[in-house]
Amino acid sequence: MARTKLVIVVMLCLGLAAQASAQEALWNLLHERAKRLYQQGKYQEASGDAERSLEIATKTLGPDHPNLATFLNTLAEIYRAQGKYTEAEPLYNRSLAIREKALSRDHPDLANSLNNLALLYRAQGKYTEAEPLYNRSLAIREKALGKDHPDVATSLNNLAVLYQSQGKYAEAEPLFNMSLAISEKALGKDHLNVANSLHNLAALYHAQGKYTEAEPLYNRSLATREKALGKDHLEVAKILNNLAGLYKTQGKYAEAEPLYNRSLAIREKALGKDHPEVANSLNRLAELYTAQGKYPEAEKFYVRSQAISQKAQGEGRSE
């Protein structure tokens, strides 16, 4: 009798273990697929898988398990990419709190959480909140990984973007150049991180009116992104938009127009026709046509852009 009870207990334990293993396999599958979709710029699909993986992992592991920080961070990243900052912030903060409790003060994963929360604050224009997080993340990465590590290059780049956003060009430029040098040495000249550094340095020169220096950097970054991500990726749309802006500033309207149109088409396809980034592209085209005196064409794009903005504001008031 005792042996029978023991067998039953063992079988139950094995059954529970198998169930837990199946749950873990499912949340990992969903999580990996969400990351892949995110990298492809398919944010709506990615968010669904990320939400499900987080839900399953939370139920299985509990709300404070150290492994949960990764799932929280992934979903927050997807929300940030969609401009859903209100939804992203508590997830970033939960991920950071879990890691601060579970990890040492110099752990690279903690640096990742600090960096990602800083990215969110910068996107919202909260520069005062972002800067200490970037600096803390940079210090951890330099200590844990060494000063020539690609993650250090990322931190330098992000801090430089923050300074650029504030118009602190003298502080930003050496950080961009350091980031670019580290990335090229560690990853090779055709890596996406290098493309990002090239784009950001180009944007810095653009903002300062150094158009001759900016253009080849934009074009190099564009070619790398198209090769690595495909021609319909949102990161490609971003650089097309900025390169078109460079041409418009110089009065090169014929060069700017097809780039703006490509950027608009990519954003409409990836984000839907009512997304704020689509409104941004519409505005850029309207400004281009206005600069050329093509007022009927400009009006059409302004009207569409305003309709998107008004819809977004209305949805914000109803929540």
Q: Is 217 among the domain residues?
A: no
Please give the pLDDT value at position 29. Answer: 87
Distance CA 89, CA 67 (A): 19
**What is the tens place of the pLDDT at every residue in 272-309?**
898 889 999 999 999 999 999 999 999 999 999 999 88
In tens, the pLDDT along 163-178 reads 999 999 999 999 999 9
> For the chain, first and last CA: distance in Å?
62
Is the dihedral angle over the CA atoms 309, 46, 238, 300 positive or is it negative?
negative
Kindly state whether residue 150 falls inside one of the protein's structural domains. Answer: no
- State the total domains in the chain: 1
**For residue 246, what is the domain's CATH number?**
1.25.40.10
- Is 255 contained in some domain? yes
Residue 183 forms part of a structural domain:
no
pLDDT confidence bin for 46, thresholds 50/70/90 = very high
Q: Do the domain assignments include residue 303?
A: yes
Residues 215, 245: contact at Cβ < 8 Å?
A: no
Q: What is the pLDDT of residues 86-137, one digit of tens each?
A: 999 999 999 999 999 999 999 999 999 999 999 999 999 999 999 999 999 9
Three-state SS string over the chain comes to CHHHHHHHHHHHHHHHHHHHHHHHHHHHHHHHHHHHHHHCCCHHHHHHHHHHHHHHHHHHHCCCCCCHHHHHHHHHHHHHHCCCHHHHHHHHHHHHHHHHHHCCCCCHHHHHHHHHHHHHHHHCCCHHHHHHHHHHHHHHHHHHHCCCCHHHHHHHHHHHHHHHHCCCHHHHHHHHHHHHHHHHHHHCCCCHHHHHHHHHHHHHHHHCCCHHHHHHHHHHHHHHHHHHHCCCCHHHHHHHHHHHHHHHHCCCHHHHHHHHHHHHHHHHHHHCCCCHHHHHHHHHHHHHHHHCCCHHHHHHHHHHHHHHHHHHHHHHHHC
Residue 254 pLDDT > 60: yes
Is a pLDDT exceeding 90 seen at residue 315? no
Q: Which residue has the tokens 């996406």?
A: 192
pLDDT of 44? 87
Within-domain flag for 59: no
* Structural domain boundaries enclosing 242: 238-314
Q: Which of 302, 269, 310, 266 is nearest to 285 (CA)?
A: 302
Domain assignment present for residue 267? The answer is yes
Calculate the CA dihedral of residues 10, 15, 17, 18 and round it to 10 degrees.
140
Q: What is the pLDDT of residues 6-42, one digit of tens each?
A: 444 444 444 444 455 777 788 788 889 998 988 887 8
Nearest to 53, CA basis, from 31, 24, 75, 25: 31
For residue 10, the model assigns a pLDDT of 41
Residue 56 has pLDDT above 80, yes or no: yes
Q: What integer pLDDT is reported at residue 90 of this predicted model?
A: 96
Chain segment 187-233, per-residue pLDDT in tens: 999 999 999 999 999 999 999 999 999 999 999 999 999 999 999 99
Angle of helix 85-102 relative to helix 68-81, nearest 10 degrees, comes to 160
Asked if residue 156 belongs to a domain, the reply is: no
**The predicted structure's pLDDT at residue 316:** 47
